Amino acid sequence: MLLQLNNIFKWVQSGGQRIFLLKDINLEVKEGEFISIMGPSGSGKSTLLNVIGMLDTFDEGEYHFLEDSVHNLKEKHRSNLYKEYIGFVFQSYHLLDDLTVQENLEMPLIYKKFKGSERKAMVADMLDRFNIVGKKDLFPAQLSGGQQQLVGIARALISNPKLILADEPTGNLNSKQGEEIMDLFKQLNDEGVTIIQVTHSEKNAEYGSRIINLLDGRMI
């Protein structure tokens, strides 16, 4: 088992009232799953994804990731944990504008303190695998949306994470580009990477092995 959420609650105080963003979430994710989270706007999809990604905190409940109890961990350990095991893919790609494709790919490796020679090899490998060797010296602004997302995924994958979290990865792409990206996810999943995606699209959700529906912070 990769991760387990037990009775997760998250709320904000507004006008003396608790507004629940997440309410009693129980979720178990095994390695190799491909999960799609769906739901209308404001239902808590992204919040859930962020909680799973340890970027956001929760107010009540337990979160176990591999052998670690995330709810008991300090910020530093949490970030070490996600640094090690989780890769993020964003709707608007979020590449670093000032860095080239190659440098963007290299960045997570730097933060993980890989040696220079190793980094070079891993980056070259990834460029090759995604067929973007020719674009390695371009800046994000010089790429199309689909290409940017490709780089985004490559960057998320480069340090061999166990889990990829994708927040509407095709939201900014046209349908053809979207399809290509989803095929890529499918392929990655087949290779053994666990994926959790947030999506609005029924069609994209179908790529996954399991669908979780959220409404007002609750799983239905």
Residues that bind another protein (CB under 8 A): 46, 49-50, 53, 55-56, 76, 79, 82-83, 88, 90, 92, 94-99, 103, 106-108, 110-112, 116, 155, 159, 167
Q: Select 32 or 99, whichever has its Cβ closest to another protein.
A: 99
**Of 35 and 48, which has the nearer Cβ to another protein?**
48
| Token pair 């998250």 in the structure block, residue | 10
Terminal Cα distance for the chain, rounded: 22
Nearer to another protein (CB atom), residue 68 or residue 179: 68
List the alpha helices (DSSP H) in 86-115.
Answer: 101-111
CB of 190 to another protein, least distance (A): 25
Are 135 and 103 in contact by the 8 Å Cβ rule? The answer is: no
Tell me the closest approach of the beta carbon of residue 21 to another protein, in angstroms.
11
* DSSP string computed for 50-61: HHHTTSS--SEE
Count H helices and E strands in the chain, helices first: 7, 10
Give the residue with the Cβ less far from another protein, 23 or 45.
45
Smallest distance from the beta carbon of 24 to another protein, in angstroms? 21
Residue type, 10: K
